[in-house]
Structure 1
Amino acid sequence: MEIRFRNNYPATVSVAVMFYSPGTCGQHGNWGTRGWWNIAPGQMAHVLNTENRFMCYYAEAGDGARWVGNFGPMYVYRNSFDSCLNLGSTAAIGRVGTRQVDTGGKNTIVNLNP
């Protein structure tokens, strides 16, 4: 399944995702983490292919708006990253909660709305 994000917010939004990946992250929490996709207003980005119907995301806009939730938390970094849920490092700038998405097993577009 393809996961895409559409930015319906009036500022550029940066997105990080958390996805089930026991083959890669089995010893580190079973969930992979990746970021960042910078998506301009009105634009869309393909961020992930997954076979699992659940994935999570965190997003933040340059004006301070954030899309957070109760899942995770996951470590985030200032620069692009590709890691596992329980692999933190001194390079992390923090830990954030994520929102869960149930794709229902279908290609999904997540809309980032104001």
Structure 2
Amino acid sequence: MRIFGLIAVALMGLVFDSAPARADGHAFKISFQNDCWQSVQVALNYRHLDGDWGVRGWYDIPPGETCFLAESKNRIYYYHAQSDGTDWSGKDRFYKVRNKPVSYGFREVRIDRETYGEWTSRLTCDDALPYKIRIANNCGSDLNVALRYVDPDSDEWRTRGYFVFSPGERGSITSTRNSIIYLHGGRGDKYYVGPDMREYRVRGNDEKFFRVDMKDEGPTQTFKC
């Protein structure tokens, strides 16, 4: 594996929620079924029984298991799910989980049954995007990251940034079907270099990007001092 200020690292650490206690009364009982070969972590945005919307996660669902996660009287909820190297990302809403600075793309689900009762969302690996783009900042200062990637919804190249990662922070930005991405990593007036350097515009600034093939280098890109 080539090292250009980047190396592959393991899946970021996640803090898991326990499922809420079942409430009395009528409601939709929302469960998730993991039909994949590896554990999946789910974050859920739904309208609680007290009427307030809120995001809860991460819930860890082992392979082949079905887990009850929430009760709601509302027919609409949103979720983001991820596993090692894949995720179920969406464009319907973007939320932060556990006050992390990175916003995750959530998918909308509309319950189409007329009466309250059990409702299960199935997660299959066929529905997952194969490449989750993760960043790890292994330095003692903030890291500004910009990304050039193929948007899975439009299949067109898109440039996004800046994402700020604090010292020691790890997190995911988005997912894509294409293993090739271009990254910009900057600290003040300095930037990281790598193969096939290119220039793209980010929020009015011309920035230097380097090429990453996640097939070879893994989904997590680590910026070292």
TM range (shorter): 0.7 to 0.9
Residue 51 of structure 1 corresponds to 73
CA drift of 1:36 comes to 1.3
Give the Cα–Cα distance (whole angstroms) in 2 for the partners of residues 41 and 68 of structure 1: 19
For 2:91, which of 62, 70, 74 is the aligned residue?
Answer: 70
Change in Cα spacing, 1:54 to 1:24, as seen in structure 2 (3 Å) is closer
Give the Cα–Cα distance (whole angstroms) in 2 for the partners of residues 60 and 35 of structure 1: 11
The 8 Å contact of residues 55 and 100 in structure 1, kept in 2 or not, is answered as yes
Measured on the aligned residues, the alpha-carbon RMSD in Å equals 1.8
Residue 105 of structure 2 corresponds to 97
Structure 2: unaligned runs, 5 residues or longer = 1-27, 126-225
Give the Cα–Cα distance (whole angstroms) in 1 for the partners of residues 65 and 49 of structure 2: 31
TM-score if structure 1 supplies the norm length? 0.75
TM-score if structure 2 supplies the norm length? 0.39
How many equivalent residue pairs? Answer: 95
Structure 1: unaligned runs, 5 residues or longer = 26-30, 78-88
CA drift of 1:20 comes to 2.7
Give the Cα–Cα distance (whole angstroms) in 1 for the partners of residues 96 and 51 of structure 2: 17
CA drift of 1:72 comes to 1.9
Give 3-state SS (helix, strand or coil) of 1:2's partner. Answer: strand
Q: Which letter maps to 1:3? A: I
CA deviation profile, 1:22-74 (whole Å, cap 9, x unmatched): 9564xxxxx3110011001000110010000000100000x211001112211
Residue 30 of structure 2 corresponds to 3
Larger RCO: Structure 1 or Structure 2 (Cα < 8 Å, ≥ 6 residues apart)?
1
CA drift of 1:9 comes to 0.8
The 8 Å contact of residues 16 and 35 in structure 1, kept in 2 or not, is answered as yes
Give the Cα–Cα distance (whole angstroms) in 2 for the partners of residues 95 and 69 of structure 1: 11
Give the Cα–Cα distance (whole angstroms) in 1 for the partners of residues 49 and 70 of structure 2: 16
The 8 Å contact of residues 24 and 32 in structure 1, kept in 2 or not, is answered as no
CA deviation profile, 1:54-111 (whole Å, cap 9, x unmatched): 00100000x211001112211023xxxxxxxxxxx4xx15111101111124421100
Give the Cα–Cα distance (whole angstroms) in 1 for the partners of residues 101 and 120 of structure 2: 28
